[in-house]
A = this chain, B = another copy of it.
Amino acid sequence: MQTIGKLSKTTGVKVPTIRYYEEVGLLPEAERSTGNQRLYGSATTDRLSFIRHARDLGFTLEAIRDLLSLSDTPDQSCAAADQIAKAQLVAVRDRLARLRALEIELERMIAQCAQGTIADCRVIKVLGNHDLCGHEHSQKDQAVQ
């Protein structure tokens, strides 16, 4: 059992953010000490690290809720879990493709820089390239995120 401060340090999630996640239901309500302070077991560390990474990768709290539900209700219908997993997989692959393109371009720029010039920066072109992302740029699509 650890306090919220310890949990914050091990996961890198700020203390108020942890309380916020509890408030919005991403974390279960914590046990309390006799003096009303939150106490956490090690399972929360994993869960919170997961949330942190997923947020950092650009997933919304809603998407994260979906992903967590895969873990939380292992006995739910496979069809439902499958649908969630597949939708998220599409989103993940899409991001991978674009990140790879950006990686290559940054590498190119750094290499060019070593030769003393960055006159032809194509960093904008790279992510502007439609072919790299498998989806349309529609309003609907944007909302999904």
Nearest-CB distance from A50 to chain B (Å)?
A: 4
Contact across chains for B70 and A109 when beta carbons are under 8 A apart: yes
Chain B residue at smallest Cβ distance from A110: B85
Contact residues in B for A142 (Cβ distance below 8 Å) = 12-14
Number of copies: 2
Interface size class of A (residues with CB under 8 A): 35 or more
Contact residues in B for A124 (Cβ distance below 8 Å) = 46-47, 50, 68, 71
In the bound assembly, the distance between CA atoms of A128 and B71 in angstroms comes to 13
Contact of A12 among B68, B81, B138 (CB under 8 A): B138
Nearest-CB distance from A118 to chain B (Å)?
A: 5
A–B pairs, 23, beta carbons within 8 Å: A12-B137, A47-B128, A49-B130, A50-B123, A50-B124, A52-B137, A53-B128, A54-B127, A57-B58, A57-B95, A70-B118, A71-B123, A74-B119, A74-B120, A76-B118, A81-B121, A82-B110, A85-B109, A85-B110, A86-B110, A96-B96, A96-B99, A96-B103
